[in-house]
Amino acid sequence: MPGKSRLDRVYAQLMSDHPYGWALYKQVTTRDIHPGSCGYFDSEGDWNTITDLSSPQDLISQGWAIPDEGIYDNNGPGSTTWGPKSSNSIRTRCIGGTARATETATSLKTSITVSFESKSDQGAVLFTENPVLRHQVGDELSALQWMAENTPEMRRRHKNIIKTHGLWIVTKIYSTRRCAIAIMNSESSSVVIDLDNAHGLLTLSPNSKWTSSSGSSCTEIHEDQDGIVVFISGIYFSQKPFRSKLGGSRDEKKQRDEIFRSGSDDSEDNENELQIEWFPPYDEDGEEGEEDIDEFT
């Protein structure tokens, strides 16, 4: 079984302080994962869709029940602008730059070469091309009810998958047309990238690229016209021996330990229920915790 040092796990946990869900290291497009996607991450960390709660046609053709209409979000995506996102252990340093005229020729846009260095044995950074879009389901409880109604059939069809990997229903994603990711695996490791500096905000441009690195590091650039998913959140289901009915866990660490997991679940096989873990977690009053610090339109 792959260890916890696998890059997708390391990256997801390093970026977990950001209030957007779980960060994805491997390239996944919005065609693969979107709100309503039900599936799992396999032993290599690749996403596999079982069904799509946002597509009644798919559900009917596969013999699943249709969720309540509350699951559909009729408000459309939110849009925001992001600067760099990094783990707490990153030091930033500007090492050069150039200025060029914008298309309107009324102002200058600065291209800056920036170094990001890890101050500990692990660090991560994410850069996105703006805008960043947020898509979400209309009502998470509709997704929860759907799984409750379909649990016996889900276990019958996908018993081994549930035991080995667990299941996700994705309820929210953040996506961008282009992103750059770096993981540093030793203290003082660094990566260098060219970024745009528009009005003091460092952002990824269509021409941005990694220019150099030192120490132990891994870099990626992902691009897709339909959108690259950079964060997901949702409901994680696993089979565990427990006596109570379905309920939501507020323990973020439990879901953190299960992200991209692989290997057998040694629990007994005689339960028809699934354990549920929510991310982002819920506070003591049952309300979702403070999540978005950006303005969405």
Alpha helices, DSSP H, located in the chain: 7-14, 56-62, 140-164, 252-258
Q: The pTM is what?
A: 0.83
Q: Which amino acid is at 27?
A: Q
pLDDT of residue 256: 62
Q: What pLDDT does 197 receive?
A: 86
pLDDT tens by residue, the chain, 297 residues: 344 578 999 999 999 999 999 999 999 999 999 999 999 999 899 999 999 999 999 999 999 999 998 898 878 899 999 999 999 989 988 876 654 444 544 456 688 899 999 999 999 999 999 999 999 999 999 999 999 999 999 999 999 999 898 899 999 999 999 999 999 999 989 999 999 987 778 899 898 999 999 889 999 999 999 999 999 999 998 876 543 333 344 345 565 656 655 444 444 444 445 677 766 554 444 444 444 334 444
What values do phi and psi take at 240, rounded to 5? -135, 150
Residue pair 229/32 in contact (Cβ under 8 Å)? The answer is yes
Q: CA neighbours within 13 Å on the CB side: how many for 253?
A: 0
User: Residue 265's pLDDT is what?
Assistant: 40
List helix spans (H) across 165-241. Answer: none
Structure tokens at 42: 């396999």
Helix (H, G, I), strand (E, B) or coil at 62: helix
pLDDT of 118 reads 94
Q: What is the spatial distance between Cα 136 and Cα 279, in angstroms, rounded to a whole number? A: 13
**DSSP letter string, the chain:** ---TTSHHHHHHHHTTTSTTSEEP-S--BTTTS-TTEEEEE-TTS-EEEEEETT-HHHHHHHTPPPPPGGGS--S--EEE----EE-TTEEEEEEEEEEEE-TTSSSEEEEEEEEEEESSS-EEEEEEPSPEEEEE-S-HHHHHHHHHHHHHHHHHHHHHHHHHT-EEEEEEEEEEEEEEEEEE-STT-EEEEEEEEETTEEE--TT--EEEEESSEEEEEEEEEEEEEEEEEEEEEE----SS---EE--HHHHHHHTT--S---S-S-----EEEEESPB-TTSPBPP---S---
